[in-house]
Structure 1
């Protein structure tokens, strides 16, 4: 467990994190988008999900009547995203995330999520869709539901440290989208913001769900290992604009929609398009922008990434071809290349001496 940090260090960590929050924490009053969660607290507790003290009806801020900066108290923390809230599952003690979804606005999200979370699909080793643990119908509202999912963390936080870690991230991500495509589902927003990881191994003491660089108890910086020492599983999230197609209906066609990556040339088409090549573009562009532009030593990925992100969708490889080409690249890499550090080369020998795998794949139960 991380040892408590001095108040000055806590404040420094908070200042670094606040830039990532949509709103500054409120010390005494809930922000407008938090009122929904406060109003659901009693019902959620009855359903087996406990919100943090900030959202209890009779909440009194821990800082009230106390001297010193209010922001050092955990109950000043507001959500990173208004539609997502953390909770503790009473039956297991696990921290989960609750996502507020409008069935009218996203009519396909629940069905697609349930499909990938139902056996035998759920336990397939190539399935990298985030598990759906529960669906909660909000009382008195026929439109809003809460999707319950495990606590995840951004795929690139902490940063990748070796070529092998990047290779394993891409292996899982590409096979995950391939698995979706083989099930005739187009994700339609598979950029790096919608790829996350299971932090259980990497953060053995967890972290605060809304301030990820702080410990869960909010007493100091969250302690973490490396992906090489503690391999992780990556997950695709957010199926709000995903679509499942029936091959019997003919070639898949859908009007384009803007997701996180708005650079695909076909996104401005006024005619329905095949959304599957657009997924390939998003992944290729992610490799270009989020890996090749920031990581030295990954240039062997550029030819594949450029082919995936070609302007003409008909010239892009499909996901089966992408995975096949990537596997050939992966098998061609020498172990020392995989150990190559993106930064801090001195840690490489430590991994070798501890007999840790160069491509840190998680163990499957």
Structure 2
């Protein structure tokens, strides 16, 4: 009996090692090929990755999604005829990543994101995405996983699947105005990862680039997906509200190395797979299988440490919690339930004055500080008089 259990354990370990090595090798090849292709792309020519979208333009249109003019079958660079410089033309913008592109949904004009997933590399991404996009989880307000609207399967490639999702923007763009806005952002971040953990899913790569924001409530003008500081048509900067005026929803994305576990497995062990954050203490000197849930806690703590504690003034009140979240020993880190509880206590202890305070860069110049401060105080007085809460709530 013990021999059989031992053999099953060894087989499971072997499968985990093989899967980890396969994923890491595939990702390395993908990064290498993407770098090579990006170096060959010019504004007037489509790279190998862009050509895939170009070649599938009609297929996507038939399924109700329109790509930007650059990817149309008969595309001619607009600067060839309008006598402008290519860098001032929207269709001169090269896609940042070959496997992700924006599109317009024909049915309602909504902007969406199309993501190519290679199932041989990331076999769990579709399952995790659809799990959180299905009822009753989809309508739960604590769910901050990016919704998957549709799954498309190209007819000419059995390994590629396209996920259709909303068009999002980095969580920190535009800049935060008040500490209260940051607190609501962090509340949603903590709540979102707690929700995943409560449903026995570890994200395993919840670093800053995988935490984004739904821009629909915030932006007056559509922004360009590759250059959010410009309007979609490149004609000036997009207008937007502050987060206090129009509280946005924040979302966790990219479930490529996420894992969903059986509820009975209270201590799942996984071989280390490096995500975007390369500083995870338990991965530095050992390849020993680890429970991925405490690693998720580290990722969030390190995100806050890097994006707020080290770069912004006035967030000292978060230091004790963050210090516990980033401890070297994963067994000493709080669970997400504990993080949410402690964060709630921290939030309740902050005064309205503190919450309405401006978010200040530690290296902010005097002139820019004076300019931003004047605008902030004008908004602050207006919000106080109008009874707008110090912490924006959806």
Question: Quick check: which has more Rg, 1 or 2?
Answer: 2
Unaligned runs of 5+ in 1: 1-21
Bigger relative contact order (CA 8 A; separation at least 6): 1
Deviation at 1:27, TM superposition (A): 3.3
Helix, strand or coil at the partner of 1:302: helix
The residue number in structure 2 matching 1:6 is none
Deviations, residues 163-221 of structure 1 (Å, cap 9, x unaligned): 10110010000010000000000000111111001101110222111211111222111
The residue number in structure 1 matching 2:114 is 98
1:99–1:116 CA distance, 2 compared to 1 (3 A): same
Deviation at 1:250, TM superposition (A): 5.2
The residue number in structure 2 matching 1:326 is 343
Deviation at 1:23, TM superposition (A): 6.4
The residue number in structure 1 matching 2:5 is none
Task: Indicate conservation of the 8 Å contact 1:23/1:78, yes or no.
Answer: no
Alignment root-mean-square deviation, CA: 1.5
Helix, strand or coil at the partner of 2:321: helix
Q: Would you say 1:295 and 2:312 are equivalent positions?
A: yes
Task: Indicate conservation of the 8 Å contact 2:101/2:113, yes or no.
Answer: yes
Answer with 334-343 or 66-75: which moved more: 66-75
Match of 1:276 among 289, 293, 311: 293
The number of equivalent residue pairs is: 341
Deviation at 1:26, TM superposition (A): 3.3
The residue number in structure 2 matching 1:359 is 391
The residue number in structure 1 matching 2:224 is 208
Match of 2:214 among 194, 198, 213: 198
Q: Would you say 1:348 and 2:365 are equivalent positions?
A: no
Equivalents in 2 of 1:140, 1:51: separation in Å? 19
Equivalents in 2 of 1:250, 1:104: separation in Å? 28
Equivalents in 2 of 1:283, 1:186: separation in Å? 13
Deviation at 1:336, TM superposition (A): 1.0
The residue number in structure 1 matching 2:94 is 78
Deviation at 1:247, TM superposition (A): 2.9
Helix, strand or coil at the partner of 1:99: strand
Answer with 207-216 or 349-358: which moved more: 349-358
Deviation at 1:348, TM superposition (A): 2.1
Task: Indicate conservation of the 8 Å contact 2:40/2:47, yes or no.
Answer: no
Match of 1:173 among 181, 189, 196: 189
Answer with 59-68 or 173-182: which moved more: 59-68
Answer with 66-75 or 54-63: which moved more: 66-75
Task: Indicate conservation of the 8 Å contact 1:128/1:235, yes or no.
Answer: yes
TM-score by length of 1: 0.90
TM-score by length of 2: 0.84
Deviation at 1:28, TM superposition (A): 2.2
Task: Indicate conservation of the 8 Å contact 1:25/1:76, yes or no.
Answer: no
Equivalents in 2 of 1:251, 1:305: separation in Å? 23
